[in-house]
C-alpha cells in the first residue's frame, strides 16, 4: 500500500511516499518559491527515485489547510486531479495536525500555529495518543491574546509545546502569558514533514475518513483578503 503525501500549504513544500512499514522517500524545501511550478517535477522525481509509477499508488493524502491561500489551492488541486485520474482514494488532513505530529510523545498539550496577521493565528490543540495525534481543540482562527488567556486558565496547568515557523513571531508574548509552561521546540521541529502527513492520512483512511474528490475543497478558516473585500463591496 503506497501512499503519496503532498503539502504545499505554507512556505514548506513537501512530498513523500510511504508504506505501512517504511518511508520510501521524502523531498522538502522551506523557501518562498513557486509551488505550482515545482510540485509536479518534485513528485515525478520522487516516484522515479523510489522506483514507482503513479499507477502503483494506493491513495493520495494532502494538507488541506489552513495556510497560504494560493499554496493550499495548489496542493489540493493537484491531489484531486491525481486521485481522480488514478481512481484512488483522496484523504485531506489539517495542515496544523501535520505540524502537531512533530510533537508526538510530548507529555503535555501540543499547539501548532500559523500567523494570520492583525494579532490573529491559525491554531488548534492536540495531544499524543496511542495511535497518533488526537484533537483536543478544533482548528480555528483566533486572536492570539484570547487563546493565551484560555490556555493560561486550563486546569492542571499543563505544559504546552508550541510548534511552527511562525512561533518565533509570538514567542515573547507566549512566554509572558504562560511562563515556564510554554515549551519551544528546536527549529528543526517547526517544519511540516510530508512523511508525517502520510502517517496521519493512513490513520484517517483506516478510520474510514476519505474525501469526495469532486466536492473536496481547501479549508481556509477565513476568506482571502481580496475575496472578503469583493463580498463586502457586493453588499453595498
Q: DSSP states of the chain as a string?
A: --EEEEE-SSSEEEEEEE-SS-EEEEEEEES-S-HHHHHHHHHHHHHHHTT--GGG--EEEEE--SS-HHHHHHHHHHHHHHHHHHT--EEEE-HHHHHHGGGTT-SSEEEEEEE-STTEEEEEEEEEETTEEEEEEEEEEEEHHHHHHHHHT-TT---EEEESTTHHHHHHHHHHHHGGGEEE--GGGSS--HHHHHHHHHHHHHTT----TTT-----SS--HHHHHHHHHHT-
Give yes or no on whether 3-94+192-234 and 96-189 have one common fold: yes
Domain ranges of the chain: 3-94+192-234, 96-189
Superfamily of domain 3-94+192-234: ATPase, nucleotide binding domain (3.30.420.40)
- Please give the CATH architecture assigned to the domain spanning 96-189: 2-Layer Sandwich (3.30)
**What is the residue-level pLDDT of the chain in tens, covering all 236 positions?**
999 999 999 999 999 999 999 999 999 999 888 899 999 999 999 999 999 999 999 999 999 999 999 999 999 999 999 999 999 999 999 999 999 999 999 999 999 999 999 999 999 999 999 888 999 999 999 999 999 999 999 999 999 999 999 999 999 999 999 999 999 999 999 999 999 999 999 999 999 999 999 999 999 987 444 444 444 555 55
Amino acid at each position: 500500500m503506497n501512499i503519496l503525501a503532498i503539502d504545499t500549504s505554507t512556505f514548506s513544500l513537501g512530498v513523500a511516499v510511504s508504506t505501512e512499514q517504511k518511508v520510501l522517500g521524502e523531498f522538502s524545501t522551506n523557501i518562498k518559491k513557486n509551488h505550482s511550478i515545482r510540485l509536479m517535477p518534485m513528485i515525478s522525481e520522487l516516484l522515479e527515485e523510489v522506483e514507482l509509477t503513479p499507477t502503483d499508488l494506493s491513495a493520495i493524502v494532502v494538507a488541506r489547510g489552513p495556510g497560504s491561500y494560493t499554496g493550499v489551492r495548489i496542493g489540493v488541486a493537484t491531489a484531486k486531479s491525481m486521485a481522480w485520474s488514478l481512481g484512488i482514494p483522496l484523504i485531506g488532513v489539517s495542515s496544523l495536525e501535520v505540524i502537531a505530529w512533530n510533537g508526538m510523545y510530548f507529555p503535555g498539550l501540543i499547539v501548532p500555529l500559523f500567523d494570520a496577521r492583525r494579532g490573529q493565528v491559525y491554531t488548534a490543540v492536540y495531544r499524543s495518543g496511542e495511535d497518533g495525534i488526537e484533537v483536543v481543540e478544533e482548528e480555528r482562527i483566533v486572536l492570539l491574546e484570547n487563546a493565551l488567556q484560555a490556555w493560561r486558565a486550563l486546569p492542571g496547568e499543563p505544559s504546552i509545546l508550541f510548534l511552527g515557523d511562525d512561533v518565533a513571531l509570538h514567542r515573547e508574548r507566549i512566554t509572558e502569558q504562560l511562563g515556564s509552561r510554554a515549551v519551544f521546540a528546536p527549529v528543526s521541529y517547526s517544519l511540516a514533514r510530508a512523511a508525517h502527513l502520510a502517517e496521519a492520512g493512513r490513520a484517517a483512511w483506516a478510520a474510514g475518513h476519505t474525501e469526495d474528490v469532486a466536492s473536496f475543497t481547501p479549508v481556509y478558516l477565513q476568506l482571502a483578503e481580496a475575496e472578503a473585500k469583493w463580498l463586502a463591496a457586493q453588499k453595498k
